[in-house]
Amino acid sequence: EAGVAQSPRYKIIEKRQSVAFWCNPISGHATLYWYQQILGQGPKLLIQFQNNGVVDDSQLPKDRFSAERLKGVDSTLKIQPAKLEDSAVYLCASSLRVGTDTQYFGPGTRLTVL
């Protein structure tokens, strides 16, 4: 079974530029999550989708971050404009259902904002 795929793996941008990350969850997984992991910290949930609907985006900085999951499969996370403090690893995870199902994580995209 293929795991969660993410691209790009690494991205370096200047502050105030925009950037987009892509995630392809495990086939058949209805729930998709985006996490932000700052160096030395645990992952923090940014947004959770159930199919193509948003379940929780309470910690998403909506003035600069946006995410979509068209057709309930792939998802993109965008930052516009980026700030220095956005430097982090952006992890995508998926689970079969909501509730207590195991979340499977992708390898992440490491973003550096200069």
Asked if omega into 8 is within 30° of 0 (cis), the reply is yes
Q: How far is the CB of 46 from another protein (least distance, A)?
A: 11
Residues that bind another protein (CB under 8 A): 4, 40-45, 48, 55-56, 91, 93, 95, 98-108, 110
Residue closer to another protein (CB basis): 24 or 48: 48
Q: How far is the CB of 66 from another protein (least distance, A)?
A: 20
Handedness of CA 96, 98, 104, 109 (dihedral sign): positive
Rg of the chain, C-alpha, whole Å: 13
